[in-house]
Amino acid sequence: MKKFNTAPISGMQELLPSMQARFNDYKTAVYETYLAHGYLDIETPTIERAEILLAKAGGETEKQIYKVVKTAELASEADQALRFDHTVPLARYVVEHANDLCFPFKVTQIGRNFRGERPQKGRFREFYQCDVDVIGWQTLPLAYDADVIATLADALKVLPIDKFQIRVSNRKILAGVLTALGLIAKQNEIFGVVDHIDKMSQHDWSEALREVVANDEKAEKLEKFVRENRGEWREISSRMTIAGTSDEWALYREGVSELGEVLDILDAALSPELRGRVEVIADMSIVRGLDYYTGTVFETVATDYREFGSLCSGGRYDSLASNYTEQSLPGVGGSIGLTRLFSVLKNYNLVSENITRPVDVCIVPVSDQEIMASLQLAERLRQKSKKVDVILTDKKLGDKMKYAAKVAKAAVVVGENEVAAGSYNIKNLESGETKLLEI
Amino acid sequence: MKKFNTAPISGMQELLPSMQARFNDYKTAVYETYLAHGYLDIETPTIERAEILLAKAGGETEKQIYKVVKTAELASEADQALRFDHTVPLARYVVEHANDLCFPFKVTQIGRNFRGERPQKGRFREFYQCDVDVIGWQTLPLAYDADVIATLADALKVLPIDKFQIRVSNRKILAGVLTALGLIAKQNEIFGVVDHIDKMSQHDWSEALREVVANDEKAEKLEKFVRENRGEWREISSRMTIAGTSDEWALYREGVSELGEVLDILDAALSPELRGRVEVIADMSIVRGLDYYTGTVFETVATDYREFGSLCSGGRYDSLASNYTEQSLPGVGGSIGLTRLFSVLKNYNLVSENITRPVDVCIVPVSDQEIMASLQLAERLRQKSKKVDVILTDKKLGDKMKYAAKVAKAAVVVGENEVAAGSYNIKNLESGETKLLEI
């Protein structure tokens, strides 16, 4: 007999029922927070035309994408692929259904995305992303950038992490600095290095910046600008707003003005519950990897667990739909990568070990004679919104009780006498306490 | 500029937010019913090794399966594929995690599956299946077959369909008849014809049966047996149990005895609420297409909409995991094909047209001056579990109210005077009634 490898493909999350229940708790809490902030739920298909997915994707994405082919068509090139994020399918959705939507379109998508990455700790090939996005028709006020960040921050509060730091910037600021320094042609390479400021030693980062800039004086200016401008906005904004008044600093000034507006509104939008847990800073090192961001960009770290990396991130994308339509559809969005985050929390033992048994009551017939009465009793308890399991095996009573203790919070033993009397005891399987069952 | 086709790939469900909300309502209600019956939730990956998926699949499945390849590997043959149902991955899951599970393992999986079918009305390439299954360790009492059917029937009650008919059989019965008639070698072809009894005219079906049996006398006996044995169990069981006492009828008798036991327990397990809506019949024409069923098989139709086809179906599979393990892991399960069902309900206008607006309160700042106060008011309402949207555009008040009326049940206008007084009116956007907002 052929033996198969029954482990899931590496890079795919697969949980036992008790852990799955915890994962679902977080996912549901995130989802409900998004709805509480007025976002509407949609689902786009898992499979999209490859040309749609790759229209704006960078080289790394193209390498990681899963193509999908029917067996018979394997020889020809695949023209369908699995989505790698929710944002690109959303742009297609909005163009396709524009006449039926209400703008600004506030939308949430929670689902599985796919990247064919080399599996490694904390990197998944299939993973849940929990997204919120707002898409405007022609225009979209900056206040929605704050709305997205405040919503994501509110969703993070369901996690077993006490304190967060939200780091916000605007790509126009650093692009403006590069413009003024005559370095804008190297924007992608320089952003790539700036992004790594917390992943490299101070010395290595300086060296890397010097190398990519290829001009020591300019590299030094750039380094100073980034290093000095990470912190509370009211502390750094005064010196940031006085720098550069000439024409070549126009983009820079636009970015600074936009960032100030977003941070002001964010301050008002944060829920009272969150104010003690969330610190918002401006951070000029934040640029985000994806090419489609055009303005606001943000990341979030756990204050006491910076090594977790970014818990959620996103930004403003003003021209994502430009390949599909001539309409201007500016958007802003962000996402919690729940699968990665859950895996990190598990590794740090932050997911409660006190596993909740998912079934409320397990009914234990003493013998097959009591199965019918047990099934009917179960139905009566379900009418009271209880989750009820009935043991239907013909095992010994002791074995049945062991099963009950694993899946349920309480047990009701149904024997000949109980059926005759129509009266049952319920045993709390956590405390051991027994009392009369009220039906 | 290149223009892309922004329609979803055909055969993929894509709904507008209001319809998505209805779909989600059904999905949640089905899920909660499954949990109420003591089933535990798990999720297996969307992508599995192709050898796992194809180990027991028939030819049709192999033709329809989607293979998954990374772009760089396109030339070589794909060894990963998208799951086409939940049952095969479940068999793998149980073998992989057997030491950590509690048997009988009662499990639900609700998620998306994939088949590369030619798209046609009511046929989807990506579709939600809502499954319940019970997997035993070595043995699994027949009572669990009844448990699965009763659970699925209970879940169907959330649908806007008044009456159901559950049709149950046991594959051993018809296989037993074929054994006694010396036709067992042709089982697959004969089952294929029997399955079509309601999809063909009486004459065409008789002809088809005669052709595949290739013996007029036996074909006639078989036809008579199937036609006569569709109806209430207590009416047909007496004549079914007396037919055939010789050794060659052993399999037949086993099937009849099993079916009787399952129907008896099912009768006790059906919820009181359901008794008026559900009719359970025994139906010897039910065989189900999938090869892996070994005993109980069932389908469900809407009594007043037989043209919908089967609403949910399933059966007993005693050796699905036999490719992966030498342990005997008998199982029984069934599934509601929610995407197909939802699409049929929509086509028949059975999904309520009275679309619920998903947001509870839309807050409408008169000008940008009131945005901060609006955001803070929104947070106070969210503390009371309300879903609250704040309009952040700088449109005219009339346009803002039109947006509010599309997404929300009620609106609160926040102007200069309201902010100064700290007192707000809430307008019910369905009735037009206005009253003081209690905060």
Inter-residue contact A34 to B114 (CB < 8 Å): no
Q: Which long-range contacts (CB under 8 A, 24 or more apart) does A371-374 make?
A: A371/B143, A371/B265, A371/B268, A372/B265, A372/B268, A373/A414, A373/A419, A374/A414
Of residues A329 and A242, more confidently modeled: A329
pLDDT grade, residue A225 (50/70/90)?
very high
- Alpha carbons within 13 angstroms on the beta-carbon side of residue B365 total 21
Amino acid at B326: E
Task: Verify whether the Cβ–Cβ distance B387 to A36 is below 8 Å.
Answer: yes
Instruction: With beta carbons under 8 A apart, name residues in chain A contacting B21.
Output: 40-41
Task: Verify whether the Cβ–Cβ distance A265 to B375 is below 8 Å.
Answer: yes
Q: Is the pLDDT of residue B74 over 70?
A: no
What average pLDDT is seen over chain A? Answer: 88
What's the whole-number mean pLDDT along residues B39-54? 81
Name the closest residue on chain A to residue B403, using Cα atoms. A102
- Best A10, A26, A71 member to test B by mutation, with max B CBs in 10 Å, is A71
Of residues B134 and B23, more confidently modeled: B134
Task: Verify whether the Cβ–Cβ distance A67 to B46 is below 8 Å.
Answer: no
How far, rounded to the nearest angstrom, does the alpha carbon of residue B187 sit from its chain's CA centroid? 28
Among the ranges given (A269-273, B67-71, B274-278), the one the predictor scored with the smallest mean pLDDT: B67-71
pLDDT grade, residue B282 (50/70/90)?
very high
- How far apart (Å, rounded) are the C-alpha atoms in residues A162 and A142? 29
Q: Give the residue carrying structure tokens 């899920």.
A: B31
- How far apart (Å, rounded) are the C-alpha atoms in residues A191 and B144? 60
pLDDT grade, residue A243 (50/70/90)?
low
Segment A263-314, tens digit of pLDDT = 999 999 988 788 889 999 999 999 987 678 999 999 999 999 888 888 999 9
Shortest distance, CA A63 to any CA of chain B (angstroms): 6
Inter-residue contact B260 to A367 (CB < 8 Å): no
Inter-residue contact B36 to B84 (CB < 8 Å): no
pLDDT at A58: 55
Of A3, A46, A70, which has the smallest distance from its Cβ to B46's Cβ? A46
Q: Which of A296, A281, A285 is nearest to A237 (CA)?
A: A281
- How far apart (Å, rounded) are the C-alpha atoms in residues B314 and B294? 11
Of B13, B143, B273, which has the smallest distance from its Cβ to A371's Cβ? B143
Q: Is B6 helix (H, G, I), strand (E, B) or coil?
A: coil
pLDDT grade, residue B1 (50/70/90)?
very low
- Best B15, B18, B40 member to test A by mutation, with max A CBs in 10 Å, is B40
Q: How many A/B residue pairs have CB atoms within 8 Å? A: 289
Of A100, A106, A376, which has the smallest distance from its Cβ to B268's Cβ? A376
- How far apart (Å, rounded) are the C-alpha atoms in residues B296 and B194? 16
Q: Is the pLDDT of residue A125 over 70?
A: yes
Task: Verify whether the Cβ–Cβ distance A67 to B65 is below 8 Å.
Answer: no
pLDDT at A15: 85
Q: How many of the other CB atoms lie within 10 Å of CB of A279?
A: 13
Q: How many of the other CB atoms lie within 10 Å of CB of B139?
A: 13
Residue A339 Cα distances to A33, A122, B122, angstroms: 18, 9, 33
Task: Verify whether the Cβ–Cβ distance B394 to A125 is below 8 Å.
Answer: no
User: Using CB atoms within 10 A of its CB, is residue A436 exposed (0-12), middle (13-18) or buried (19+)?
Assistant: exposed
Instruction: With beta carbons under 8 A apart, name residues in chain A contacting B80.
Output: 9
Name the closest residue on chain B to residue A385, using Cα atoms. B36
Q: Is B330 helix (H, G, I), strand (E, B) or coil?
A: coil
Q: Which of B280, B40, B42, B34 is nearest to B154 (CA)?
A: B34
Instruction: With beta carbons under 8 A apart, name residues in chain B contacting A389.
Output: 37-38, 106
Of B4, B141, B383, which has the smallest distance from its Cβ to A394's Cβ? B141
Q: Is the pLDDT of residue A321 over 90?
A: no
What average pLDDT is seen over chain B? Answer: 88
Instruction: With beta carbons under 8 A apart, name residues in chain B contacting A147.
Output: 390, 392
Structure token digits, residue B369: 């001056």
Shortest distance, CA B224 to any CA of chain A (angstroms): 35
Q: How many of the other CB atoms lie within 10 Å of CB of A95?
A: 17
Shortest distance, CA B13 to any CA of chain A (angstroms): 7
- The vertex-B321 CA angle with A408 and B112, nearest 5°, equals 70
Among the ranges given (A117-121, A408-412, B289-293), the one the predictor scored with the smallest mean pLDDT: A117-121
Amino acid at A311: L
- How far apart (Å, rounded) are the C-alpha atoms in residues B111 and B37? 19
Instruction: With beta carbons under 8 A apart, name residues in chain A contacting B69.
Output: 66-69, 78
Segment B142-201, tens digit of pLDDT = 999 999 999 999 999 888 899 999 999 999 999 999 999 999 999 999 999 999 999 899
Task: Verify whether the Cβ–Cβ distance B359 to A69 is below 8 Å.
Answer: no
pLDDT at A78: 54
Segment B80-133, tens digit of pLDDT = 778 888 888 898 889 888 888 889 999 999 999 888 766 677 678 888 999 999
Task: Verify whether the Cβ–Cβ distance B101 to A16 is below 8 Å.
Answer: yes
Of residues A121 and A274, more confidently modeled: A274
Q: Is the pLDDT of residue B245 over 80?
A: no
Q: Is B130 helix (H, G, I), strand (E, B) or coil?
A: strand
Task: Verify whether the Cβ–Cβ distance A36 to B386 is below 8 Å.
Answer: yes
pLDDT grade, residue A87 (50/70/90)?
confident
Segment B308-345, tens digit of pLDDT = 888 999 999 998 888 778 889 999 999 999 999 998 99
Task: Verify whether the Cβ–Cβ distance A100 to B16 is below 8 Å.
Answer: yes
Task: Verify whether the Cβ–Cβ distance A55 to B323 is below 8 Å.
Answer: no
Of residues A169 and A383, more confidently modeled: A169
The pLDDT > 90 percentage for chain A reads 59
Inter-residue contact A312 to A302 (CB < 8 Å): no
What's the whole-number mean pLDDT along residues B225-248? 86
Q: Which of A310, A303, A332, A308 is nearest to A320 (CA)?
A: A332
Name the closest residue on chain B to residue A360, using Cα atoms. B38
Instruction: With beta carbons under 8 A apart, name residues in chain A contacting B24.
Output: 41
Q: Is the pLDDT of residue A175 over 50?
A: yes
Shortest distance, CA B221 to any CA of chain A (angstroms): 37
Among the ranges given (A57-66, A302-311, B397-406), the one the predictor scored with the smallest mean pLDDT: A57-66
pLDDT at B60: 62
- How far apart (Å, rounded) are the C-alpha atoms in residues B155 and B134? 16
Instruction: With beta carbons under 8 A apart, name residues in chain B contacting A141.
Output: 392-394
- Cross-strand bridge partners of residue B316: B332
Q: Is A431 left (phi over 0), alpha (psi -120 to 50) or beta?
A: alpha
Task: Verify whether the Cβ–Cβ distance B6 to A43 is below 8 Å.
Answer: no
Name the closest residue on chain B to residue A134, using Cα atoms. B392
Task: Verify whether the Cβ–Cβ distance B63 to A41 is below 8 Å.
Answer: no
Task: Verify whether the Cβ–Cβ distance A13 to B45 is below 8 Å.
Answer: yes
pLDDT at B62: 65
Please provide the distance, in angstroms rounded to a whole number, between the alpha carbons at the two ends of chain A.
52
pLDDT at B10: 77
